[in-house]
Amino acid sequence: MVARLIEIDEGRFRIEGELNLKSVATLARESSRLFPGQGRRAQFQIKQLQRQHSQRETLELDLSGVTRANSAAVALMLDWTARAQAVGSRLRIRHWPESMLRIARFSNLAELFGLSESTEDARARFRASAPPADVRPLVENDG
């Protein structure tokens, strides 16, 4: 399935489909819909963009329609977050797929994206990854 960037309302977008290297490249070319004017002449238009985006300080991107995603998708979110900051705006990304959450956390990008995890969630994740209590180490260290 081809990924599509759908404008829901002014400043609100949704991505649907699979985010892989090929589809992310296509979406990256469509980023002018999120950040109009950025490109070769962006240096000359930065003040105009800042005025344009000051009226909508936050852009919203809904990922609930993403069916599959890999690290290229996280890289795209990183690029779009930086672009939003460059024009004095903020990109709020909602409904992250679990695969993208894992990649963002593993890459130490969770805080940058505002993906804080509650202590209870972190403990549950740790318990799920820990070996069962009845498993003993092959070598015991007494001291």
Per-residue pLDDT of 23-41, as tens digits, reads 999 999 888 778 765 554 4
| pLDDT value, residue 44 | 46
State how far the Cα of 25 lies from the Cα of 140, in Å rounded to an integer: 51
CB atoms within 10 A of CB 53: 21
Q: What does the DSSP 8-state code read for residue 140?
A: -
Tokens at residue 84, please? 């939003």
Contact criterion met (CB below 8 Å) for 100 and 74: yes
More confident residue, 34 or 142: 34
Quick one: average pLDDT of 41-48?
49
CB atoms within 10 A of CB 86: 15
Rounded to 5°, angle at Cα 54 from 52 and 56: 90
- In this model, does residue 19 exceed pLDDT 80? yes
Q: In sequence order, what DSSP letters do the residues of 108-136 get, joined into one string?
A: T-TTTTT----HHHHHHHHHHHSPPTT--
Confidence class for position 42, pLDDT limits 50, 70, 90 = very low
One-letter amino acid for residue 106 of the chain: F
82-135: pLDDT as tens digits: 988 887 888 999 999 999 999 999 998 998 898 876 555 656 666 666 666 665
Domains with residue ranges and CATH for the chain: 4-129 (3.30.750.24)
- In this model, does residue 55 exceed pLDDT 60? no
